[in-house]
Amino acid sequence: MGFKMGIVGLPNVGKSTLFNALTKTAAAQAANFPFCTIEPNVGEVAVPDARLDKLAEVAGSKTIIPTRMTFVDIAGLVKGASKGEGLGNQFLANIREVDAIAHVLRCFEDGDITHVEGRVDPVADAETIETELMLADLESIEKRRANLVRKLKGNDKEAQQQDRLLAAAQAAIEDGKPARTVEVDAEDARAWKLLQLLTTKPVLYVCNVAEEDAAEGNAFSAAVAKMAAEQGNAHVVISARIEEEISQLDAEEAEMFLGEMGLEEPGLDRLIRAGYELLHLETYFTVGPKEARAWTIRAGTSAPQAAGVIHGDFEKGFIRAETIAYDDFVTCGGETGAKEAGKMRAEGKGYIVKDGDVMHFLFNT
């Protein structure tokens, strides 16, 4: 299981440049005018994980198959999008279909690139987008609650639950807070998710800085970091220009280039890690002579559910999971060595998979 992250932001903040770099494609037209991206562009990228390469080396795997992450480049939002301004309705509909939102914020000065508001203020830009999403949610909530009136009169329990949750979201938004600030009980979690409100999506702020600020950030990104901390959201600092240059280089050249820029790793790696943390995702591995493969699961996933990520039959017929911790697999020189050292465990249906587990599933067909 991968996940889908929507890249949003005002026009000319570097969204499409970042998307092009991340997916190593030119699918998203990057140009200096609003709405250069009309349809959402979708790109898949391999999730970099040094552990997978090490496991393949230890096991002598012929093929390495990383897990994947999907980015959706959604056209630039503008003030008034919730009312359909700037093709707003289409853009907002695209946001509903992603798991998380990356707000790309312009944190650089450049007189050659116009800003839709005529100034550089990433915190204000973030507030503009959040406001548009909240207004869109509010309109949706009011319509839905109006449509529930008849069912509520008939004491429909599902309608009562839905109306109660919608009312909680409405109260938060009318108080100037996004719906994700509402505390939801476990019994309401599924119904809450089905509401598909825009402001329930987890948010990651992506500070797009100039090349010279990529390592340390700047005053703009510092202001975003402060805002993110106050909101309980995450942020990363990236130079879309640097990522674009790296995407054109081979591995050796990219490493040298990063060193010259004072960077330890590409921004993509930081972005994916932040995304994983945002959605509470983890990785487990299957390893053999044919292939070493990474699989994405949510934290708290049981062994049968993890098996189901590979194939539904694995979950239905689950017997047990032969499990080796990543460090043990590497230290013991692979599966055989781990077995001999007593480091392979037989885990049952109640086992909660840990990040980095190397697993082999036994199941009934």
State which of 219, 246, 278 marks the end of a domain: 278
How far is 365 from 361, CA to CA, in rounded Å? 12
Within this chain, do residues 101 and 201 fall inside the same structural domain, yes or no? yes
pLDDT of residue 261: 86
**pLDDT above 80: residue 161:** yes
Say if CB 292 and CB 63 are below 8 A apart.
Answer: yes
pLDDT of residue 300: 95
Within this chain, do residues 212 and 327 fall inside the same structural domain, yes or no? no
Q: Is residue 91 very low, low, confident or very high in pLDDT (cuts 50, 70, 90)? A: low
State which of 278, 312, 330 marks the end of a domain: 278
Burial label for 157, CB within 10 Å (0-12, 13-18, 19+), is exposed
> Does residue 68 form part of some domain?
yes
Q: For the chain, what is the domain count? A: 2
Question: Position of tokens 């939102």?
Answer: 101
State the chain's maximal CA–CA distance in angstroms.
69
**pLDDT above 70: residue 50:** yes
**pLDDT above 90: residue 209:** yes
The CATH code of the domain that includes 341 is: 3.10.20.30
**pLDDT above 80: residue 136:** yes
Question: Position of tokens 């790309």?
Answer: 104
Work out the average pLDDT over 165-174: 97
Q: Is residue 315 very low, low, confident or very high in pLDDT (cuts 50, 70, 90)? A: very high
Question: Position of tokens 């932040």?
Answer: 274
Average pLDDT, the chain: 87
Within this chain, do residues 261 and 321 fall inside the same structural domain, yes or no? no
**pLDDT above 50: residue 117:** yes
Among 297, 292, 308, 293, smallest CA distance to 361 is for 308
> Does residue 285 form part of some domain?
no
> Does residue 290 form part of some domain?
no
pLDDT of residue 273: 84
The CATH code of the domain that includes 266 is: 3.40.50.300
> Does residue 83 form part of some domain?
yes
pLDDT of residue 26: 38
Say if CB 360 and CB 329 are below 8 A apart.
Answer: no
Question: Position of tokens 């708290």?
Answer: 300
Among 78, 103, 100, 93, smallest CA distance to 15 is for 103
Question: Position of tokens 């939801």?
Answer: 184
One DSSP character per residue, 273-285 reads HHHHHHTTEEEEE
| 79-83, 171-175, 196-200: range with lowest mean pLDDT | 79-83
For the full predicted model, state whether its pTM sits above 0.75.
Answer: yes
pLDDT of residue 113: 63
How far is 74 from 42, CA to CA, in rounded Å? 9
Q: Is residue 30 very low, low, confident or very high in pLDDT (cuts 50, 70, 90)? A: very low
**DSSP run (H or E) holding 342:** none
Residue 150, helix vs strand vs coil: helix
The upper half-sphere exposure of residue 14, i.e. CA atoms within 13 Å in the direction of its Cβ, equals 28
Range of the domain at 143: 4-278
Which residues face 321 on adjacent strands? 347, 361
How far is 288 from 363, CA to CA, in rounded Å? 18
| 24-38, 132-146, 172-186, 310-324: range with lowest mean pLDDT | 24-38
One DSSP character per residue, 222-287 reads HHHHHHHHHHT-EEEEE-HHHHHHHTTS-HHHHHHHHHHTT-SS-HHHHHHHHHHHHTTEEEEEEE
> Cα(first)–Cα(last) distance of the chain, in Å?
22
Work out the average pLDDT over 228-255: 88
Q: Strands 281-287 and 291-298, how do they pair?
A: antiparallel
Which residues face 292 on adjacent strands? 64, 287
**pLDDT above 50: residue 36:** no
Q: Which residues of 6-38 are buried (b: 16+ CB within 10 A; e: fewer)?
A: bbbbbbbbbbbbbbbbbbeeeebebeeebebbe
Within this chain, do residues 328 and 196 fall inside the same structural domain, yes or no? no
| 34-38, 140-144, 287-291: range with lowest mean pLDDT | 34-38
**pLDDT above 90: residue 262:** no
pLDDT of residue 76: 59
> Does residue 293 form part of some domain?
no
pLDDT of residue 90: 64
pLDDT of residue 325: 97
**pLDDT above 80: residue 196:** yes
